Amino acid sequence: MFTGSIVALVTPMDDNGDLCRDSLKKLINYHIDSGTSAIVSVGTTGESATLSHAEHVEVVKATVELAEGRIPVIAGTGTNATAEGIELTRHFEDSGVVGCLTVVPYYNRPTQEGMFQHFKAIAESSALPQILYNVPSRTGCDMLPETVARLAEIENIIGIKEATGNLSRVSQIQELVDDKFILLSGDDASALDFMQLGGSGVISVTANIAAREMADLCQLAKQGHYAEARHLNQRLMVLHHTLFCEPNPIPVKWAAKQLGLIANDTLRLPMTPLTANAAPVVEKALRDAGLR
Where are the alpha helices (H) located in 92-225, listed in sequence order?
112-124, 136-139, 145-152, 168-174, 191-196, 211-222
The answer to whether 30 is a known catalytic residue is no
Annotated catalytic residue: which of 26, 61, 133, 257?
Answer: 133
The answer to whether 25 is a known catalytic residue is no
> How is residue 75 annotated by DSSP?
E
Angle formed at CA 31 by CA 10 and CA 184, multiple of 5 degrees: 70
Dihedral in degrees, nearest 10, Cα atoms 239, 37, 106, 85:
160
> How is residue 223 annotated by DSSP?
T
Annotated catalytic residue: which of 26, 30, 61, 161?
Answer: 161
Number of H helices, E strands in the chain: 12, 8
CA 71 to centroid of chain Cα atoms: 15
List the one residue out of 110, 109, 111, 115 whose CA is nearest residue 132: 115
What residues are annotated to the active site?
133, 161
